[in-house]
Structure 1
Amino acid sequence: MAFLSSILQITSRLVAACRGSPSSSSSPSDNQKVIEDELKGLEMILWNIDSVLEDARQREIRDASVRLWLKELKGITYDAEDILDEYEYELLQCQVDSRNVAAAASRISRKRKDMDSQKETSVISKVPSFPHYMLDRIRKIRERFSAIKKDRSTLSLRDLGPRRYDYDDDDSIKPLSPSSFVDESRVFGRDGDKEKLIELLFSDMNSKFSVIPIVGMGGLGKTTLAQLIYKDRRVQGYFDLKGWVYVSVHFSVLRLTKLIIETLSGQQSCAFLELNKLQSVLSESVAGKKVLLVLDDVWNEEQSPWQLLQAPFANANIVRIIVTTRNSSVAQVMQTGTSPYQLGLLSEEQSWLLFKLYASASQEPLLQFIDIGKQIIKKCKGLPLALKALGGILQYKTEESSWWDVLQSDLWELDEAQAEILPALKLSYSRMPSY
């Protein structure tokens, strides 16, 4: 449920930023303080909803009411992101203006040492306050999420606890995301795809800037394939600068530019908050260099943010960007000049090798249930994530009934449009005893 983790990240970041941001008044009733309280309330509600999402995912295949609830939640979340993005911009602008005013006041102080402190203070206090309409909009967001939270009781959604999150240096939360590292011994059937894409990567070297999109349904192994390419010795040896950024739903040019600087430089923190300054830093760092960048899990379908993000790479010698996405429209927006690489499903032979690897912690059960296992992999239809998920679940199952429960489950009766839900099978069987 990437859509909810994204807004949780934004909300947490805004709460932290509010505490340190300037305001036009130190009064507890100040508009900014009220907004901070609203954001804290929203954050608590989001965590409350997040704790039942695992159960909702298990039930959405067969329960129309839960599917409708998730659809409504997703719609509210996207509306909220637009508003919170606007508020984040206002907050950053206020911080920038505050620093500018403070710098101006310092210059005035040096030039007019005889100026009384009251006049100087009046200059500093003229920091822009936040628009009043922001409070109403944020309050309405919280009310909409509060209403949908109440439906969890009506739907009898179980609280399975919040998902795992990692923390940035600034204590803002983020979901644990894929990195550039991969265990090649646990990957099957992607050697041909890897070689074709590396060939694309090095073709037409007269072209200064090129984007290579890897497109496919969720769980197909797009990220794994990008990891294989990224770690290839030919790729590592050719490019001067290499970086990996996990993008997800929230396509913030400011945030992504900061992350790109950090991944290309190998530094953990970039302190600048202004996009113009960040782009200048990025432009200088890539000047005359051969750059490889992987943008993993991209959802953005708007052209202007993408054009703004790629602008600093104009000074580079050669730029190759690998993009992984579920949506072919993303590739069209990027105007890559390269046809999207449609990643295919695994063959039955490759599927068996992958499933066997994850299901064979103990060799005896796998040999005992080899016929059932081969029937299970046929139903996985070559989807790597489903094969790994079910193999992992069955790894310690020594009872034949556990394997038959998986094979005969009605969750397999999915139409083509629901094929991406196959990995949810792992959740459905996660309650099976481990021993």
Structure 2
Amino acid sequence: MAFIGDAALSKLLDLLLGKSIYAALNFVADHKQVYDQLKEWKSILPDIKAVLNHAEEKQIKDEGVKNWLEDLQDLTYDADDILDDFAYEELRLKLHKAQVQASTSKVRKFLPTCCTGNDFTPSSFLFKNSMIPKMKEITARLNSLATRRNSLGLSEILPQAVSSERKKLARLQPTSVVDGTVEYIGRDNEKQEMLDLLKTNNSDAVCVLSIVGMGGMGKTTLAQLVYNDPSIEESFDHKAWVCVSDDFDAVKITKTVLQSIDPCSPDVNDLNLLQVKLKEKLSEKKVDLF
């Protein structure tokens, strides 16, 4: 089961709210019904975009939020297709007008001015009228997403403009503890693949298994699920959970690993002594380190 990151969705929503929707608004300004539909899109989309970060974080533990994101993704593609149709129609009309003007210019060389008449520009009213049902459907889906957003408890998270220092203070180090009351959706296959890789590796060398993905995709949650699986206890002599932050401290990390394996280890801050002790504890042992 795939999980949705907010990066692509956010970029597409930025596009819809940027040049695409403004260009469409100018093009349909002479058609009130279509214009009003686009104005409603423009008023709802920012509120939905504001909760993307929160939805991305919650989708790993809440299937309803994941479904909401999937519906939003489908809607943005459909809305983008409609805006593309407007852009194509506007370009077609401009090209047609240019061709008509070019033909009229040639005729003027041979006819008196009174016989040439005015430039002919084909009406786009029928095209715009045909788009109304599609646009009303998008508007109804947008309103539904907005209502569901509230029922799912999605809210706006602090913007990216928050200082990096404030982010560091607010961010807690992840632990190995999982919430036993929560049902984790969509990670069974990945979890089993990781367990199989960890348990079938018989190499004496250090084996590194990386979990790669955008922020909020559930990398830490997946690691927690694997770490706490009962079969890990049976397959390894020791296991340890260590958080390596941006502020890298080799002494602190080594001490954490050592104390996870041997809670009675001496509290020293000499890196060499710590690593010698750690080597003694891990010699000829199979260790699972997260």
**TM score, norm. by length of structure 1:** 0.35
Q: Which has the higher strand share?
A: 1
Whose RCO is larger (CA < 8 A, sep 6+)? 2
**TM score, norm. by length of structure 2:** 0.49
